[in-house]
Amino acid sequence: MKVVIIGGGWSGCAAAVSSKKAGADVIIIEKTDLLLGLGNVGGIMRNNGRYTASEELIALGSGDLIEITDRVAVHTNIDFPGHKHATLYNVNMIEGEVYKYLKSLNINIMMESRVNDINFDGQKIKGAYLSDGTYIEGDVFIETTGTTGPMGNCLRYGNGCSMCVLRCPSFGPRISISERCGVSDIQGERGDDILGAFSGSCKLAKESLSNEIKDELDSKGVVILKVPKEDINYDKLDTKVCQQYALKEFAENIILLDTGHAKLMTTYYPLHKLRKIKGLEYAKYIDPYAGSKGNSIRYLSVAPRTNDLKVTGVDNLFCAGEKSGLFVGHTEAICTGTLAGHNSVRLAMGMPLLILPSSIAIGDLITYANEKARTREGRKDRYTFAGSVYFKRMQELNLYTTDIAEIKAKIKKFNLDNIFSQKLC
Amino acid sequence: MIKEAIDCIDAGTEYCPCKLAEHGQCLICSQCQGKVFCDCLNWKGVCIYQELYNNASRAKDGRKTYNCIVTEVVNYENSLIIIKFKALHKLVLDLVKPGSYIFIRTDENTYFDIPISIMNSDIENDIITIAVEIRGIKTNKLLTIKTDGNIVIRGPYWNGVFGIKNILDQKDNKALVLARGIGLAPMMPVIRKLILQNNKVQVAIDKSPFEMNLASGLLNEYNVSIVENSLFDNGTLSDHAKVIIKDSLKEGVNYIHIAGADILTYSVINYLNDINRNDISLSCCNNFKMCCGEGICGACTSRFSGHRVKRFCKEQADPRIIFEGRRFI
């Protein structure tokens, strides 16, 4: 039984781990030279409701990747505006650790291999074509290609290619596998009828910051600097993916988080303006390289799917991560990836697919985001355990807790404990 | 599984984006086909939409016209002339690859433009060699060309050979070239490339309708084995040709270049089909009528099943695709 995962970001890696644990032969096809995609420039875990989701994953038997992000954390339990008890993983270490772990599970990883079409017979995907002409067959396919880029999209809906970590100009463009099957993608929207949204943060080289800022980042993990009055731009918050960080504080202040680099919590910021701020006189972008001008554009190709993460209209295709909804964040990607990977094996074995109940945070997020994506208003929101509309909902529905024992008991009550570590074939 | 992705010979070159992209008809880029999302099925290393945007949404300047001085003309009884002329170094470099061609004329009237394949592009002396079979009004006009005279050329164009990908894939391999008539001229850059890529090349030449082997001088520079034979008899592949193909396949050849008329290419494809050797990779001459070379005039178009129109001045394809599902409209 062969599961082919297209895209090696956080959700692809999570799908690989869960489908492998369920007993499949797994292959990941990744177009760049790094796994984790945007996870290489992210780093924020366990803030607000993500804490609950992380612990739910562990209780469900799929905490493998969460354990790695915990292990390579540079800061734990830190607070910054609107966010509590965050863990920041070291973006410079994480990819190597995840790669090593996936290899140890005997997952076949094809790096620098780009899918550029599929062989679809109208119902099932038979195989995937790589740009070098290789043909890869599989029983079940999982699309975790994300919704970011490529250049044409970043240009039409943003400010052009800003040279982000996905490096499309070097490794080539993403294509939408579901769209190739004739299933129309859903697009996220922002304000005035524009599609897509900007990625919500940049990375500055820590070495380019003043010693005071560096020291504060090293010791506290967070630095907050005032934006000069004339440069405050509230409008920019509307264009942002990460609505959990689209707070007033994030427009009035420069918020830096220490994830190995200094994570700048804004979509993009002209360097000459940034350098007006004390301590940032020598600041330099390392992701996206052209952070002065723009950032990557996301949410242009979300696949319609059911709550078991199967793509509607294709018999053997699952989706996860941003491809499966207007989600933000690594935790969300790992959660959806894990479910998609597990269900891919169930599908191949002819077993009923697993839908997580709405009484746990992960199940509720997957169901809620799906409902919301059907309405125009819903497509303007983003869904994350970490803030904005969904974290509010978590609190209202009592889904948010940091009590690990309570989470464990709840998962056990539903007979879901360690379900993702069961071998199915 | 073999999948044929649409490929454009000009994509990513200094002439891309062209007028097709400007007018929403790009062969490759979905965003330049009037769509609003990327669906990039054959990435050629640059974002065509971005190039178009950065060029104020206009096509790049097309090919330029140059006046060149003729250095040598050899006339073979008014049925064939071989012309050598001096050109800019950049143009000579651009015309080295297999499939390169130019438009030439001696008249001021652009209607006299003739598409002619490059026979040899000498980068050391900046001399280009072409061979022209004298047939109609345009080629007849070329008979007036004199040494030290002027000719007007437009170029560079590149889609003179189909299956370029297959040529580039041949490394340390054994190759067979079947060439007939004026096809010997565009065969030369292909052989040059095959030799550069360390292939062992066997060439079967059918001189007709000419009396002599017009490529013998150039062929002598390469270490290739040459046999001269009739390849074509009364509209079908000759027995000689069949034997040559069969023998070379036995010796391990798995790639054939066919430099001749479409009917020769078609016969070879059918013969390989008959002997169950569809695994043999192929390249051949692009014999479509070229007029503007820029995807605009439509002279080179052909229709295929599924209401597809292909513009063969730009579209690269595998030789087998050229004849498959072709509609006679």
Q: What are B's interface residues with A at a Cβ cutoff of 8 A?
A: 1, 3, 5, 29-31, 36-43, 46-47, 49-50, 53
Which residue in this structure is represented by tokens 């494809």? B269
Name chain A contacts of B42, Cβ cutoff 8 Å: 116
Average pLDDT of span B42-68: 94
Confidence grade of residue B52 (pLDDT, cut at 50, 70, 90): very high
Task: Give how far B16 is from chain A: nearest CA, Å.
Answer: 15
Two structure tokens written together for A84: 């509590």
pLDDT at A246: 76
Q: For residue B161, what is the enclosing H or E element?
A: strand B161-162
Q: Are B129 and B120 in contact (CB under 8 A)?
A: yes
Name chain B contacts of A156, Cβ cutoff 8 Å: 31, 36, 49
Q: Are A301 and A180 in contact (CB under 8 A)?
A: no
- Coil/strand/helix, residue A25: strand
Q: For residue A349, what is the enclosing H or E element?
A: helix A330-349
Two structure tokens written together for A154: 């970043």
The verdict on a CB contact (< 8 Å) between B47 and A129 is: no
The verdict on a CB contact (< 8 Å) between B47 and A119 is: no
The verdict on a CB contact (< 8 Å) between A152 and B47 is: yes
Q: Does A119 touch chain B (CB under 8 A)?
A: yes
Q: Give the one of A160, A172, A180 whose C-beta lies nearest to B50's C-beta.
A: A160
Q: Does A188 touch chain B (CB under 8 A)?
A: no
Name chain B contacts of A160, Cβ cutoff 8 Å: 50, 53
Which of B282, B243, B228 shows the shortest CA–CA distance to B259? B282
> Tell me, what's the ipTM?
0.88
Phi-psi region of A350 (alpha: psi -120 to 50; beta: other; left: phi over 0): left
Q: Give the one of A131, A155, A301 whose C-beta lies nearest to B49's C-beta.
A: A155
Q: Give the one of A135, A161, A173 whose C-beta lies nearest to B40's C-beta.
A: A173
Q: Rounded to the nearest 10 degrees, how much is the dihedral formed by the CA atoms of B37, A166, A155, A152?
A: -40
Distance of CA A282 to the CA centre of its chain: 30
Confidence grade of residue B176 (pLDDT, cut at 50, 70, 90): very high
CB neighbours of B194 closer than 8 A, spacing ≥ 6?
B167, B170, B175, B177, B201, B257
Name chain A contacts of B40, Cβ cutoff 8 Å: 116, 150, 152, 172-173, 175
Instruction: Read off the amino acid at residue A209.
Output: L
Name chain A contacts of B21, Cβ cutoff 8 Å: none
pLDDT at B85: 97
The verdict on a CB contact (< 8 Å) between A161 and B50 is: yes
Chunked into runs of 10 residues, chain A (425 residues) has average pLDDT values of: 97 98 98 97 96 98 97 96 96 97 98 96 96 95 96 95 96 96 92 85 96 97 93 79 77 93 94 94 96 95 97 97 96 98 97 97 97 92 94 97 97 96 94
Q: Are A401 and A52 in contact (CB under 8 A)?
A: yes
A118-156: string of b/e by CB count within 10 Å (b at 16+)? bbbeeeebebbbbbeeeebebbbbbbbbbbbbbbbbbbb
Two structure tokens written together for A114: 């780009």
Task: Give how far B254 is from chain A: nearest CA, Å.
Answer: 18
CA–CA distance, A351 with A260 (Å, rounded to integer): 43
pLDDT greater than 70 at residue B3: no
Instruction: Return the higher-pLDDT residue of A33 and B62.
Output: A33
pLDDT greater than 70 at residue B32: yes
Radius of gyration of chain B (CA): 20
Which of B295, B271, B292 shows the shortest CA–CA distance to B282? B271
Name chain B contacts of A32, Cβ cutoff 8 Å: none
Task: Give how far B56 is from chain A: nearest CA, Å.
Answer: 13
Q: Give the one of B1, B5, B36 whose C-beta lies nearest to A156's C-beta.
A: B36
Nearest CA in chain A to B43: A172
Burial of A396 (C-beta count, 10 Å sphere; 0-12/13-18/19+): exposed
pTM of the model: 0.91
Which residue in this structure is represented by tokens 């394949």? B117
Say how many CB pairs under 8 Å bridge A and B: 69
Whole-number average pLDDT of chain B:
94
Nearest CA in chain B to A118: B3
The verdict on a CB contact (< 8 Å) between A149 and B1 is: no
Following DSSP, what letter does each residue of A241-309 receive, concatenated?
S-GGG-SHHHHHEEEEEESSSEEE-SS---HHHHTTSTT-TT--EEESTTTTT---EE-S-BPPB-TT-
Nearest CA in chain B to A299: B37
pLDDT at B4: 66
Q: For residue B255, what is the enclosing H or E element?
A: strand B255-259
Task: Give how far B5 is from chain A: nearest CA, Å.
Answer: 9
Alpha-carbon distances of A225 from A41, A202, A210, A216, A260, rounded to whole Å: 21, 16, 13, 12, 19
**Number of continuous H segments (helices) and E segments (strands) in chain A:** 14, 20
pLDDT tens-digit series, residues B275-305: 999 999 999 999 999 999 999 999 999 999 8
Instruction: Read off the amino acid at residue A296.
Output: S
CA–CA distance, B293 with B18 (Å, rounded to integer): 11
pLDDT greater than 50 at residue B1: no
Two structure tokens written together for A316: 């053997």
Number of neighbouring beta carbons within 10 Å of residue A7? 28
Q: Give the one of B1, B5, B50 whose C-beta lies nearest to A152's C-beta.
A: B50
CB neighbours of B196 closer than 8 A, spacing ≥ 6?
none
Average pLDDT of span B45-60: 95
Q: Does A161 touch chain B (CB under 8 A)?
A: yes
Name chain A contacts of B3, Cβ cutoff 8 Å: 117, 119, 129, 135
Phi-psi region of B24 (alpha: psi -120 to 50; beta: other; left: phi over 0): left
Two structure tokens written together for A247: 């707070």
Q: Does A150 touch chain B (CB under 8 A)?
A: yes
Name chain B contacts of A116, Cβ cutoff 8 Å: 5, 40-43
Two structure tokens written together for B82: 């071989």
Q: Give the one of A117, A160, A173 whose C-beta lies nearest to B38's C-beta.
A: A173
pLDDT tens-digit series, residues B83-106: 999 999 999 999 999 999 999 998
Average pLDDT of span B226-246: 94
Strand arrangement, sheet containing A2-6: A108-110, A25-29, A2-6, A140-143, A317-319
The verdict on a CB contact (< 8 Å) between B47 and A127 is: no
Burial of A382 (C-beta count, 10 Å sphere; 0-12/13-18/19+): buried
Task: Give how far A288 is from chain B: nearest CA, Å.
Answer: 18
- Coil/strand/helix, residue B68: strand
Name chain A contacts of B41, Cβ cutoff 8 Å: 116-117, 175
B285-308: string of b/e by CB count within 10 Å (b at 16+)? bbbbebbbbbbbeeebebeeeeee
CA–CA distance, A312 with A119 (Å, rounded to integer): 17
Q: Does A183 touch chain B (CB under 8 A)?
A: no
Name chain A contacts of B1, Cβ cutoff 8 Å: 119, 127, 129, 135
Task: Give how far A133 is from chain B: nearest CA, Å.
Answer: 8
- Coil/strand/helix, residue A118: strand
pLDDT at B319: 95
